[in-house]
Amino acid sequence: MRNDLLILYFPECESSARRVADAAGVDCACVTLHRFPDGESLVRVPDRLPSRVVVYRSMDRPNDKLVELMLCAAACRDHGAVELSLAAPYLCYMRQDIAFRSGEAVSQRVVGRWLGTLFDRVITVDPHLHRVDELQQALPGVTAIALSASTEVARFLGGLGERLLLVGPDQESAQWVEPIAEKTGMPWVVATKRRSGDREVRVDLPAGLDCRETRVVLVDDVVSTGHTLAAAARGVVAGGASQVSCVITHPVFCGGALELLREAGVAEVWSTDSIEHESNVVSLATPIGGAL
């Protein structure tokens, strides 16, 4: 074990953080977190810290977590951390990269710059970027490292021992579907999505796609409400697919997302452990541990 680097994790992500620590060959410790009845948080870190510290926390449901992250970063600096990194397998507030209407805050810019004041380095996996090409653009002033889950997901799908048709539910999903298809040698296509609201989505599969008697796996980076994947699932079921599953990097799953997917015909939901969830089957410990 190296003693010049410590991973500090928050309580809700203990299992995944310990796997990362084992992969990196470093020690880890839990941040003590207390929430007062009025909603304020108390954060406590170990009294003595090495010069290099990595704070590990996935940033789903982020608003309380962002404040606690700020408190943790300050405490780390006060107790010996000189080089401070954030390992956030899921990184929040990345989708809003422009103002769509007058007066809107561009949250990616605001949160990205703020994280740059707290940390020297930010490591994440498959960031949900739209009009921004590279994570570094979203996180000015900090060393930004974007990892991919494709190798680990491809290893899992390849281990199923079947030839699958990989389907991305929209144009943006091509960046995740294509490398997985290349690593597994499986065929792939990408659908077209038209969104008219947070829960109003239409997905059109490529013309002439033949799903009959085919096991289909829908591939995407993040699922929150589940409406996009559900629309894609209904399309391939209507096309005669023998079975439909989905594999995703970030299982945010708001509200009844899982139930919605199952009602749409999805038999199995698989995810990475970027956010700890019952659907986790793919560990990100190797790529994150390697980056550390």
Q: Of the candidates 288, 289, 292, 290, which has an alpha carbon nearest to the alpha carbon of residue 90?
A: 288
Distance CA 254, CA 171 (A): 22
Distance CA 8, CA 30 (A): 6
Joined together, the tokens standing for residue 45 give 């870190």
What domains sit in the chain, N to C, each tagged with a CATH number? 2-149+284-291 (3.40.50.2020), 150-273 (3.40.50.2020)
Task: Report pLDDT for 141.
Answer: 87
Q: Do 265 and 229 touch, CB atoms closer than 8 A?
A: no
> Consecutive sets of 10 residues in the chain, 292 residues long: mean pLDDT of each?
87 97 97 97 96 97 96 97 98 89 92 96 93 89 96 97 93 92 96 68 80 94 92 92 97 93 96 97 97 93
Task: Report pLDDT for 157.
Answer: 97
Task: Report pLDDT for 199.
Answer: 58
Q: Do 105 and 138 touch, CB atoms closer than 8 A?
A: no
Residue 27's DSSP bridge partners are: 6
Q: Do 66 and 35 touch, CB atoms closer than 8 A?
A: no
Q: Please compute Rg for the chain using Cα positions.
A: 20
The CA–CA distances, whole Å, from 84 to 5, 25, 158 equal 10, 18, 37
